[in-house]
Amino acid sequence: MPIFNKKTDSKPMELPTHIAIIMDGNGRWAKKRGLPRTAGHKVGAEAFRTIANYAKSIGLKYLTVYAFSTENWKRSQEEVNTIMELLEKYLRELLRDMDKNRVRFCFFGDLSRLSPTLRAEAEETAERSKQYDGVQVNFCLNYGGRDEILRAARSFAAKCAAGEARPEELTDEVFSGLLYSAGVPDPDLIIRPSGEERISNFLLWQSAYAEYYFTDTLWPDFGPRDLDLAIEAYNKRSRRFGGVK
């Protein structure tokens, strides 16, 4: 469906069904300003709020964001604590304003390592927001693409060991159904701000045919106009999925 009063190659702009974002650059944003890394995470949290609201306003169906990876535990305890406190604050606000915003939230990742409070808030947010039919925001929290694939493989292996499945029954569709993202279409467009050009263990299985967009803009400075530019670039791509057009 057209989303802008613009055209690319004489065609209306098309909105991807699913956009995923690696929210990168908070620490560098803070360093450039002589601030502690934790200040960058606070501004980055507001950038996420802005983008999530904008995604809803333009009619995006799925937005997936990389909030905290399985490798991020290696950071300083102060930084990890700040990120977790920001997440708790955001989820409390989500629960408070849920009926007004009507955004559906899902969480991809192993929530068992989170604090009991944060885990409970995440589970309540996901459960209560199931009733909404607007944009679905998938929050990758304590998430790693390799970890997700290993968990899915172990799950299918356990089914085989129990006599509930046979190895030859494993297909792309069956395996996809064992991932955190089961039921969610693969991302059409993956955006990485901050100038880095790598995928950092993000949606490894799901990104097989995704289009990538890299920008030097640091995440705290990333706004609706930056998302528009990424969508414009996406509209100029020719997606062949291994075929020929």
Q: Catalytic residue numbers?
A: 24, 72
Task: Give phi and psi for 243, each to the nearest 5.
Answer: -95, -165
- Per the document, the length of the chain is 245
Determine the Cα angle at 118 with ends 113 and 119, to 5°. Answer: 60
How far is 140 from 21, CA to CA, in rounded Å? 10
How far is 66 from 46, CA to CA, in rounded Å? 15
Q: What six digits make up the tokens of 215?
A: 């920008």
Q: Beta strand pairing status for 18-22 and 11-14?
A: unpaired
How far from each other are the two terminal CA atoms of the chain, in whole angstroms? 22
Task: Give phi and psi for 97, each to the nearest 5.
Answer: -105, 15
CB 183 within 8 A of CB 161: no
Distance of CA 165 to the CA centre of its chain: 31
How far is 27 from 70, CA to CA, in rounded Å? 18
Which residues touch 139 (CB under 8 Å, ≥6 apart)? 64, 65, 67, 105, 106, 107, 108, 122
